[in-house]
A and B are shown apart, each in its own frame.
Chain A
Amino acid sequence: MNIKTVSSAIYSGKSYQYVDNGAPLQGGMKDVYFSPDRSYVVAFYRSEQDLNAKERLRKIVTDYYNSFFNREGGAYYKDLYCWPTDMIEEGKKVGLIVPCYNENFFFKKGYAANDFILGKEKEGKWFAAPKFRNKAFSLRLDENELGNWLSYFQICVNIARGVKRLHAAGLAHSDLSYKNVLIDPISRSAAIIDIDGLVVPGLFPPEVIGTPDFIAPEVLATRHLDKSDPGRKLPNRLTDLHALAVMIYMYLLHRHPLKGGKVHDLDTEKDDLLSMGEKALFIEHPEDVSNRPQLDHVHPNDLPWADVNKLPLAVTGPYLKELFYKAFVTGLHQPAERPPADMWEQALLKTTDLMQPCANPACEQKWYVFDNTNSPKCPFCGTPHRGTLPVLDLYYEFKPTVWRPENHRLMVYNNQYLFQWHANRNVVRNERTSEEQKIPVGYFVFHQQQWVLVNQRLTSLKDLTEDKEIPIGGMVALTDGKKLLLSREEGGRVVIVTLANK
């Protein structure tokens, strides 16, 4: 083994080791070597870095590193980003020290049929592409690697939070892609890597335009212009928001939002450039249906996901549907209209409140979003919901005695929990949610032929219909039309119960 040593360009006396086996892993711009204990990697840029680029890297590993991690809440982000910790210089070569990803981002099994990819990084493409989950595809992933549909909502929440935090600091990632965001459906986590491309508007210009599939239309449409041309659009916060929307759409629906059947040019390259750039059109555009995928031209292994009639974006529920329209209809060519990351985060979280476990134990997705009908069924396997289904609509006190709906509902299922962020609108569910707030305040069960809410920690739960306080340890039946006050404190909510599927 050929072990080499390199010195920090920032902290004098600090050095790092790496194993030079002559065959580094190759990214788009860097050659990557592992440290002997594989706890970090040394990533060398293949091309020479100018002063500006070096200054950028220096800032990323010092100032930005400190502002992200060495303050309250920093621990949450340590798992979310794979952030470079130091910069090295060796002759003309510049490199970064980057911690290795958590173990859960490497396949424990990989393909169902063999161990070819065992130990390989879980890059997003494995999970976004439909064929690797199709039973007819011989190199499909093992069932135990795939997680269920709910896992992808949680993964997307994490990605949205990661992007939100970067944007809050005034930074743009500039190259969000399958390779740069690792995901793990088992632990339901994500890790944003390749942080070194960070763009600080006005200070450090981007070096990459992104990765195919994720590049924003305006960036592709102006790619032919010179970098100094005022009309040239380069990656920024708003192009990150396009990439984020594409990513969420792909993880939930396993198809690309812009890759449909419409032909713009007979030349493949020109056609691709137009259909992802200047002429980009959402495959599920509500009025213009010209880019709908043509099922006779899609690969059978890409079904059923490629079929937008069988699995329209509406299966992701009303909140996400609205955001997908904002991202891919109004905001596709008007970047300022794209939903910011925190809207995605909240919409994803609210959607998980609409989810129901599928009654079919063989269902591949296991969870689905309530379709707002009176006889709900799983859109993936078609299994109808069994028994009654309580729907809780959340209201807040707009002014004394006037309660307004919040466009937020909670679907009840057996052993579903109720949390503080449901009971009180002043408690927000985000990365700062405390451990204490993550303890349920009550739960729902189907008990003796009726649905009940068991109060575990709500100090002022009241059945308004029956005018009865429900003490901790007590329970209240959920009947059609029942009104419950969840909390008397400021921000406390009222819920109204509707029983669906009667």
Chain B
Amino acid sequence: MRRLPVYFLLDTSGSMYGEPIQALNNALSGMVNTLRLDPHALDSVWLSIITFDREVKEVTPLTELVTFQLPEITCPQSGPTHTGKCLEFLYEKVNQDVRKGSQEQKGDWRPLLFIFTDGKPSDLKLYHEMIPKVKQLNFATIVGCAAGKSADNALLKELTDTVVHLDTADSATLKQFFKWVSDTIEQGNKSMGTSEVIVLPPPPQELNLVI
């Protein structure tokens, strides 16, 4: 049985405090519910949620979609954004969690990674160190999502070609973004064109896709 591991790295630094974190919780739970309507996703998707602020926390270890329980994600009122440390943690986790193919056993699908941030890394040095390592992990897709004015597209672009910029982190925008995320996760089960085509579904209209 091949699993499709999906990792979410969520920025819970001080700037997310208040409405943004509420909106994020809402959007995430909407996404999980959407995925649960999809028999293909239920057959393969495993989810993990990791948050980062001053601390890096594995809120939910890699869990099968059907049993996945979304906890309330909270954030401190202030503090730095340790994105680099989070990537370091992710690197370890993916190496542990994702089953590689062996002569005896089929491997998991290449994992997907979604990074959501509203600022920029406070630990820039580590962040830069981790980027090549994360790229080595052979993710099928890495999507960076920069929400709000102070989010830094350029730094995310170093990690992935697919960066979505959300002008605001309000409920409606996030909901739409996570709808697109679930479409991306579900992408593998649709008709395939005769010519090689892009992997990602078209993003929702209101977002800026920085590619």
Please, which residues of chain B bring their CB within 8 A of the CB of A139?
A: 36, 42, 66
Q: Name B's interface SS.
A: loop
Q: Name A's interface SS.
A: loop
Q: Which of A179, A234, A298 contacts B189 (CB 8 A)?
A: A179
User: Does any Cβ of B come within 8 Å of A387's Cβ?
Assistant: no
Mark contacts of A292-303 with chain B using CB atoms, 8 A cut-off: 1 yes-contact digit, 0 otherwise: 001001110010
A-B contact count (CB 8 A): 106
Chain B residues 19 to 59 lying within 8 A of chain A, measured CB to CB, are 33, 36-37, 39-40, 42-43
User: Does any Cβ of A come within 8 Å of B67's Cβ?
Assistant: yes
Mark contacts of A107-138 with chain B using CB atoms, 8 A cut-off: 1 yes-contact digit, 0 otherwise: 00000000011001001011001011000011
**What is the CA–CA distance of A227 and B194 in the complex, to the nearest angstrom?**
8
Which A residue's beta carbon lies closest to that of B108?
A268
**A456 to B: closest C-beta gap in Å:** 44
User: Does any Cβ of B come within 8 Å of A465's Cβ?
Assistant: no
Is A263 a contact partner of B191 (Cβ separation < 8 A)? no
Known: A120-B37, A139-B36, A179-B190. A298 touches B1 (CB 8 A): yes
Which A residue's beta carbon lies closest to that of B64?
A299
User: Does any Cβ of A come within 8 Å of B193's Cβ?
Assistant: yes
Chain A residues 263 to 286 lying within 8 A of chain B, measured CB to CB, are 263, 265-269, 271-272
Is B110 a contact partner of A125 (Cβ separation < 8 A)? no
User: Does any Cβ of B come within 8 Å of A474's Cβ?
Assistant: no
Please, which residues of chain B bring their CB within 8 A of the CB of A299?
A: 1
User: Does any Cβ of A come within 8 Å of B103's Cβ?
Assistant: yes
| Chain A CB within 10 Å, residue with most, of B110, B179, B191 | B191
User: Does any Cβ of B come within 8 Å of A207's Cβ?
Assistant: yes
Is B107 a contact partner of A125 (Cβ separation < 8 A)? no
Is A125 a contact partner of B43 (Cβ separation < 8 A)? yes
Is B1 a contact partner of A263 (Cβ separation < 8 A)? no
**What is the CA–CA distance of A227 and B197 in the complex, to the nearest angstrom?**
13
Is A265 a contact partner of B194 (Cβ separation < 8 A)? no
Is B109 a contact partner of A268 (Cβ separation < 8 A)? yes
Please, which residues of chain B bring their CB within 8 A of the CB of A170?
A: none
User: Does any Cβ of B come within 8 Å of A318's Cβ?
Assistant: no
Mark contacts of A206-218 with chain B using CB atoms, 8 A cut-off: 1 yes-contact digit, 0 otherwise: 1111111001000
Known: A46-B202, A227-B195, A266-B102. A131 touches B43 (CB 8 A): yes
Is A265 a contact partner of B39 (Cβ separation < 8 A)? no
Please, which residues of chain B bring their CB within 8 A of the CB of A138?
A: 66-67
Is B105 a contact partner of A297 (Cβ separation < 8 A)? yes
Please, which residues of chain B bring their CB within 8 A of the CB of A132?
A: 39, 42
Chain A residues 219 to 257 lying within 8 A of chain B, measured CB to CB, are 227, 234
Please, which residues of chain B bring their CB within 8 A of the CB of A206?
A: 194
Please, which residues of chain A bring their CB within 8 A of the CB of B102?
A: 263, 266
User: Does any Cβ of B come within 8 Å of A28's Cβ?
Assistant: yes
Q: Which of A26, A123, A179, A207 contacts B194 (CB 8 A)?
A: A207
User: Does any Cβ of A come within 8 Å of B76's Cβ?
Assistant: no
Which B residue's beta carbon lies closest to that of A296?
B105
**What is the CA–CA distance of A23 and B205 in the complex, to the nearest angstrom?**
10
**B110 to A: closest C-beta gap in Å:** 6
User: Does any Cβ of B come within 8 Å of A491's Cβ?
Assistant: no
User: Does any Cβ of A come within 8 Å of B2's Cβ?
Assistant: yes
Q: Which of B37, B103, B108, B109 contacts A263 (CB 8 A)?
A: B103
User: Does any Cβ of B come within 8 Å of A175's Cβ?
Assistant: yes
Please, which residues of chain B bring their CB within 8 A of the CB of A116?
A: 33, 36-37
User: Does any Cβ of B come within 8 Å of A331's Cβ?
Assistant: no
Please, which residues of chain A bring their CB within 8 A of the CB of B40?
A: 125, 178
Is B2 a contact partner of A268 (Cβ separation < 8 A)? yes
**What is the CA–CA distance of A234 and B192 in the complex, to the nearest angstrom?**
12
Q: Which of B67, B110, B190 contacts A268 (CB 8 A)?
A: B110
B contact set with A: CB distance below 8 Å: 1-2, 33, 36-37, 39-40, 42-43, 66-67, 100-110, 179, 183, 188-195, 201-202
Known: A116-B33, A132-B42, A207-B194. 8 other contacts (CB 8 A): A116-B37, A131-B42, A138-B66, A179-B190, A209-B194, A234-B194, A263-B105, A294-B105
